[in-house]
């Protein structure tokens, strides 16, 4: 599996960008996802006592005869301040939800948390999906009041056999 990295300067505050990333399942994003993915699920559930953790789940449609994919991730975030360099910003990290299960072995699994929500469809409906995995980190560095730098590092494994051209087309569609 390969890792991808991108760095960009954005004309919004670091706080605004973090809120946009954390608000994975906003009404606007769900509607856009439902339009583009033809009713595939997009769900988000808060976890942990800190208020800085979520389980995000998304269904991604692939062209027939390929199976659709489901990605379920554990996400955590926090602020940082480097006393030496004087840099400050936010870090948002994510890994497969199985990592949440391993870290919280005595607690509820991610499927238990999602299963408690009566509106959830990601595991309750037969979507005929293959479980893909993705992991990565976003570093948001404050440059000025309304300017930040976003470093995006991510790895994805779509699982199963998918022709490279289809992968390239779908990944291009999924980029923000």
- 106 exposed, middle or buried (CB, 10 Å; 0-12, 13-18, 19+)? exposed
Q: Which residues are 144's β-sheet partners?
A: 147
In a 3-state reduction of DSSP, which class is residue 105? coil
> How high is the mean pLDDT in each 10-residue block of the chain (176 residues)?
88 95 80 75 78 85 82 90 85 88 72 62 68 92 96 88 69 55
The reported pLDDT for the residue numbered 176 is 45
The reported pLDDT for the residue numbered 15 is 96
d(CA 74, CA 163): 28
The reported pLDDT for the residue numbered 105 is 64
């Amino acid at each position: 599996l390969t890792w991808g990295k991108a760095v960009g300067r954005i004309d919004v505050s670091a706080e605004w960008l973090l809120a946009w990333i954390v608000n994975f399942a906003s009404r606007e994003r769900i509607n856009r996802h439902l339009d583009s993915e033809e009713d595939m699920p997009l769900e988000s559930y808060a976890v942990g006592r800190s208020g800085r953790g979520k389980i995000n789940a998304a269904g991604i449609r692939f062209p027939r005869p390929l199976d659709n994919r489901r990605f379920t991730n554990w996400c955590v975030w926090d602020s940082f301040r480097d006393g030496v360099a004087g840099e400050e910003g936010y870090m948002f990290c994510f890994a497969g939800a199985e990592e949440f299960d391993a870290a919280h072995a005595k607690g509820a699994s991610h499927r238990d948390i999602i299963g408690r929500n009566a509106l959830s469809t990601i595991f309750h409906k037969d979507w005929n999906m293959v479980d893909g995995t993705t992991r990565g980190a976003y570093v948001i560095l404050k440059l000025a009041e309304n300017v930040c730098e976003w470093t995006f590092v991510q790895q994805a494994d779509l699982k199963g056999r998918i022709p490279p051209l289809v992968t390239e087309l779908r990944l291009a569609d999924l980029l923000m």
